[in-house]
Structure 1
């Protein structure tokens, strides 16, 4: 169901007809200018029943959303009045979406219905786009480093199994980021954020546009000392979009994104280390380190033999990554009812990551071609929109893994392993979107993808007397189909009911084939594609302009779910992936906005999002081993680790609409995350937490003349100074010498899991427009 959870319009508005085609995937359809207007469409059979939310464009092409899919959107007003350091600040108010800390300052692990909660970095099991251009590479990798919220107008999150339209890796849905429009900027904006831990973010935005073109250029430079030892960083981002109307029926859109991330990186802690020393103070020197410090054991000669214990600072752990994306799209209208889009995107990701005992180095070059055709017609008097699309993406890569030496500065030693290979996906999909009566709306579709992964890994086994090489080959092909069907029913103007059956798939990425359960590089090529079948049933109620409520229940059945776990800090690869034969995800999402005093205090609002997410193994037997034996343990009925069962965000907001204080506003926010298991045996939990954030801002009204161009804010995060786990990856269980599973005491000392969240922090910012 296409709904947007924001206060500026009804949640329950039904997206109908030719304008809002469920068939348009976000990655094929760039969401550009979207001025909002609401309209009522009357029919002879039922007057004023459909409440149609029109998200249109003045750019000559319809920017469309899935009609049938549960969708939440955050607009610029939700995050523009705060520090907005990462994508976490953009999606904080969206039901079903949680964020964990990844490996770096802006490497947020965005999870939709628990999709990426078991990963240590990036956006997994999601297709990510920006202005309709793909930000997910063919191996399913997308990272949030390149996202500076100041550049964006909003973000749309499409939830549930969605491979019918979005293809491979849309196992839990898709996300589309929308940059600002040049015509809305209409000039030059300069801004600066500053605050605790030496944070400075200086940014510039240039925009211009008219009926013939629209141009937006953004650039920022962010630096901070970080609140954890060895977490200082500097990252720069450039983002550009140009749209040109060549003729009344032809448009070109050029897109460019570039990001350079240079960050030191602390190590993830065990639960006991986190409780003892969450911010890793006094850890700079491993020989005299305080309690609770994490360290790495590096090969003295960089090849074999004796090891030396080093702190992250002494070893020089960090990341230096670059991401460059350029895309070009041609849009052509054959006639008012038929539109053709074709686009090409080149995406290069270059990594240099000395993050543990090894350094991971290499380029990843991706190429993506997409084309689609949309026809808007009628069956009798009822509108029908038909969509067909084809896409091909290809990635070639070559990376090297070097042992780190104790010389400091992330000095590389001997080669540990190399891997060279490719992955491509070719997809076909179609969808029929039919408004077959004034009250009913139906969507059916089918998508399929052929994927090919070919790679060779070479392992270097070194000793004092010799060096031997071991080659591991992965040549795998996968074919997956994803049908879907949905119904939307609008019995009155206040109610919308929707039901959906969706399917999805995700093939193993190249990297998962070459990491063993021991966290070493080796053979793991038996992995299968994961698939899911999901059911959504939801309702939306908006009895008055001041109340908007949306609730969706979901039940999803997974086969061969790909689950990742940490093998510990002092392992070359750190995390490994396995298939859980059968699992189930079920839960409830709730979003609501309310203006309790609509007449007497129109500037006051309450905003709530809550998600219950229950995920269990229904068929999975895990094998644990030690030096003398191996035993099998059934995990049937256990909660899948890494997934928060409950998470809630509640805000009380106020913006003065008139008078001498017009433009003054702020909010108080409470965020609560429940505890969740970290291991398959359900023995160890990451602790729950609740945070309080406060913000105040001032946007002077136009009557104040030049002062109207100046925006300012001040924010206090984590007011009560709570110590909490902002990121916690899953850990593997352990088999004791007695043949029993290790208990909580042993697991609480397993490293490689937890990053602490920020202590109390103060931020401010100014922005001026010319």
Structure 2
């Protein structure tokens, strides 16, 4: 039976959809369940205000961040366990960002996040070139995280294989907040606090402030880190139901040690070790980011409204790599130390209207946004004489600029009693400019420019057989430009940037169903396919640098299933399962082995796209009788191929976690104590991989069994 499940996920997914579509809802619902009255709430990921998420023809998950989780609140990946279609892999390496991919998009990223659109309080955390990061997402002040998957992600522009949005809490009255401290393995310590207030009734100004500090010695050798984060939101209510919001964010992570990846043999010998060159070159990374955002929302009568958002920020990176001294002898080498300064800003203007068309509910949105990134990239040798891991001579100096100008429109229409339509289109123009300031007799001028443009239409249809049941279909196109990091080195080893790279374009389709009842039971399922042309993949790794090429066609297809099942008043079971088949459809040549410059090894058509797992699943059984909460989790993943040739893979795994919490109600709030054991059975496994790592150090082992203890005081004024 288990063999059939593993061998025929497509049959299982189709069967699930068929059962949900063919069976009367009364056959699926709990006995005595009432019809559901669906709330009208804003769907921020789909840019809809008068439409419930249940009525959107897309896979949309909302994760509430309410402070009850028995977790430290360090990484966004903690909250994303159980979201189908999404892989959030913690690397045990705080010098690198969390690995995020959605339905196989973003899986090739060796650092940072590519192929996905990221937002924090509506402010892009993805730059115009498609490079993003989630390190500054502040969970201490978060209220919810939205994850949008499927064709409608394309309405967010370049590199929108999926969308992840974090929204921080609003100021509320009476004043409230929290103080939380936790201790975990490897001397990991997390302290966070928040305060929120909106004044007394009639006051128009409110605020929400949150800060956190994290320190760890690291599970692996040479992986100590410190992170400081702050997020502040100030809002002012304006006449006519308008609102003005100011959002400030600060993130600082100095000298986070990088243990680098391990080979398979090193993982077997000692999964906690760091690669020898990591200590030899003292590989590390410092990141600092500060940004401000301003949002303005104003209804203007007659169903019309106007929204505006402006933001600006700075992000500085200083990173010491393990590039060998000998490799830096090449006059075209950019050294082994990166000094990167980014200034970025943007503006989004949007008009919306809600009314009726032919007597049926109708909503229309149109707008434009422009984003700009100014990048000063310098490279230095990572040695001075015999001293390694220090800033040496200058080897690269570029002034890069990337900007986009997008126009978009979408319309939602309930054109019949049981039918609704959502359609939209976005036209994106992305411009790259590079000015080389490091020109020598042996290193020519590498300046250049390239422009990309694409129009991405989307269309979705929803049918409502009953008030508590939806069937939908959607289709659209998307595109992904190369990032500046991928443009940075030519595949032929020549001087200059790889301006010959073309953007990857995708055609996406999805079929899905959603059902829920008045008792809180929810079931969602979807089938999806994305066909990509001009897929981007690694061409070669030489001297610590990766170069990329377009490799033809690829396909990502699969199925998702999720369910929340209240078993009785105290017991809840949550399930999520994803099957993903992500493959190259054309063959292409690659380099293999360290220092390879001749792409002579052919990757055959049909090879799996590295970084993707065929299956992943999670289950959480929770018991919450009044003041106690106990939970048992199981999280599993299939094997993950680590390189294009498919010669190696990280084995699949299943791990169990258990947690317990006890709450005491006090006169001014509540005191909560929690404990959590991760990897209960101390299973040895690889938690994340470094795709196509040039030295064969693909693997980043996950930690063994670990205990977390925490205490949280949730306070509220005026509760005597």
Please tell me the TM-score bracket, short chain as reference: 0.7 to 0.9
Q: Contact conserved, 1:566 with 1:730, CA < 8 A, in 2?
A: no
Q: Contact conserved, 1:519 with 1:567, CA < 8 A, in 2?
A: no
The runs of 5 or more residues in structure 1 that have no matched partner are 1-11, 13-47, 281-292, 297-311, 462-466, 657-661, 734-749
User: Any idea what the Cα deviations from partners look like across 1:450-474, whole Å, max 9, x if unmatched?
Assistant: 111011446778xxxxx63222233
> Is 2:220 the counterpart of 1:218?
no
Residue 378 of structure 1: aligned partner: 356
Residue 700 of structure 1: aligned partner: 664
> Is 2:130 the counterpart of 1:140?
yes
- Structure 1 residue corresponding to 2:634, chosen from 642, 648, 670: 670
Residue 21 of structure 1: aligned partner: none
Distance 1:521 1:119 in 2: 24
Residue 544 of structure 2: aligned partner: 572
- Structure 1 residue corresponding to 2:269, chosen from 271, 276, 280: 276
Residue 4 of structure 1: aligned partner: none
User: Any idea what the Cα deviations from partners look like across 1:349-407, whole Å, max 9, x if unmatched?
Assistant: 11101132211102111110110000112113201111101011111111111111176
Kindly state the Cα deviation for residue 699 of structure 1 after the two structures are TM-superposed: 2.2
Matches within 5 A, 1:134-173: 134-162=124-152, 164-170=154-160, 172-173=161-162
Kindly state the Cα deviation for residue 419 of structure 1 after the two structures are TM-superposed: 2.2
Q: CA RMSD in A?
A: 2.6
User: Any idea what the Cα deviations from partners look like across 1:585-607, whole Å, max 9, x if unmatched?
Assistant: 100011011123x2xxx111111
Residue 228 of structure 1: aligned partner: 220
Distance 1:392 1:628 in 2: 39
User: Any idea what the Cα deviations from partners look like across 1:126-147, whole Å, max 9, x if unmatched?
Assistant: 1111222222222222212112
Distance 1:277 1:139 in 2: 38
- Structure 2 residue corresponding to 1:264, chosen from 251, 257, 268: 257
- Structure 2 residue corresponding to 1:766, chosen from 682, 693, 711: 711
The runs of 5 or more residues in structure 2 that have no matched partner are 1-19, 21-33, 324-335, 716-720
Kindly state the Cα deviation for residue 522 of structure 1 after the two structures are TM-superposed: 5.2
User: Any idea what the Cα deviations from partners look like across 1:675-704, whole Å, max 9, x if unmatched?
Assistant: 121122222111212111111112224xx5
> Is 2:539 the counterpart of 1:539?
no
Residue 290 of structure 1: aligned partner: none
Distance 1:113 1:710 in 2: 39
TM-score (norm 2): 0.86
Kindly state the Cα deviation for residue 123 of structure 1 after the two structures are TM-superposed: 2.2
* Structure 1 SS opposite 2:444: strand
Q: Contact conserved, 2:377 with 2:400, CA < 8 A, in 1?
A: no
* Structure 2 SS opposite 1:313: helix
Residue 43 of structure 1: aligned partner: none
- Structure 1 residue corresponding to 2:39, chosen from 35, 50, 53: 53
* Structure 1 SS opposite 2:266: helix
Matches within 5 A, 1:57-456: 62=49, 67-77=56-66, 80-102=69-91, 104=94, 107-162=97-152, 164-170=154-160, 172-183=161-172, 186-209=175-198, 212-262=204-254, 263-280=256-273, 294-296=275-277, 312-357=278-323, 358-405=336-383, 410-456=389-435
Distance 1:455 1:581 in 2: 27
Distance 1:113 1:655 in 2: 33
User: Any idea what the Cα deviations from partners look like across 1:249-300, whole Å, max 9, x if unmatched?
Assistant: 43211011110012111111122222222111xxxxxxxxxxxx6233xxxx
* Structure 1 SS opposite 2:279: helix
Residue 454 of structure 2: aligned partner: 480
Distance 1:94 1:332 in 2: 33
Distance 2:497 2:246 in 1: 42
Q: Contact conserved, 2:209 with 2:233, CA < 8 A, in 1?
A: yes
* Structure 2 SS opposite 1:275: helix
Distance 1:629 1:753 in 2: 21
- Structure 2 residue corresponding to 1:527, chosen from 501, 504, 516: 501
Kindly state the Cα deviation for residue 313 of structure 1 after the two structures are TM-superposed: 2.8
Q: Contact conserved, 1:564 with 1:578, CA < 8 A, in 2?
A: yes
Residues 1:566 and 1:217: Cα distance change in structure 2 (over 3 Å): farther
- Structure 2 residue corresponding to 1:563, chosen from 504, 528, 537: 537
Kindly state the Cα deviation for residue 512 of structure 1 after the two structures are TM-superposed: 1.2
Residue 647 of structure 2: aligned partner: 683
> Is 2:671 the counterpart of 1:710?
yes
Kindly state the Cα deviation for residue 106 of structure 1 after the two structures are TM-superposed: 7.2
User: Any idea what the Cα deviations from partners look like across 1:568-595, whole Å, max 9, x if unmatched?
Assistant: 7xx333x333222111110001101112
* Structure 2 SS opposite 1:53: coil
* Structure 2 SS opposite 1:413: coil
Q: Contact conserved, 2:70 with 2:676, CA < 8 A, in 1?
A: no
> Is 2:621 the counterpart of 1:652?
yes
Residues 1:608 and 1:432: Cα distance change in structure 2 (over 3 Å): same
Q: Contact conserved, 1:138 with 1:366, CA < 8 A, in 2?
A: no
User: Any idea what the Cα deviations from partners look like across 1:83-123, whole Å, max 9, x if unmatched?
Assistant: 23211111011111111245526721111112222112222
Matches within 5 A, 1:473-622: 473-517=447-491, 523-542=497-516, 545=519, 547-564=521-538, 567=541, 571-573=543-545, 575-596=546-567, 598=568, 602-622=569-589
Kindly state the Cα deviation for residue 718 of structure 1 after the two structures are TM-superposed: 1.1
Greater shift in the superposed pair: 115-124 or 584-593:
115-124
- Structure 2 residue corresponding to 1:640, chosen from 609, 612, 627: 609
Distance 1:606 1:153 in 2: 22
Residue 15 of structure 2: aligned partner: none
Q: Contact conserved, 2:589 with 2:599, CA < 8 A, in 1?
A: no
Distance 1:572 1:520 in 2: 16
Residues 1:451 and 1:686: Cα distance change in structure 2 (over 3 Å): same
Distance 1:78 1:415 in 2: 47
- Structure 2 residue corresponding to 1:719, chosen from 654, 658, 680: 680
Distance 1:231 1:448 in 2: 43
* Structure 1 SS opposite 2:115: coil
Distance 1:614 1:757 in 2: 24
Residues 1:536 and 1:514: Cα distance change in structure 2 (over 3 Å): same
Q: Contact conserved, 1:667 with 1:695, CA < 8 A, in 2?
A: yes
Kindly state the Cα deviation for residue 215 of structure 1 after the two structures are TM-superposed: 0.9
TM-score (norm 1): 0.81
Greater shift in the superposed pair: 399-408 or 63-72:
63-72
Distance 2:539 2:683 in 1: 27
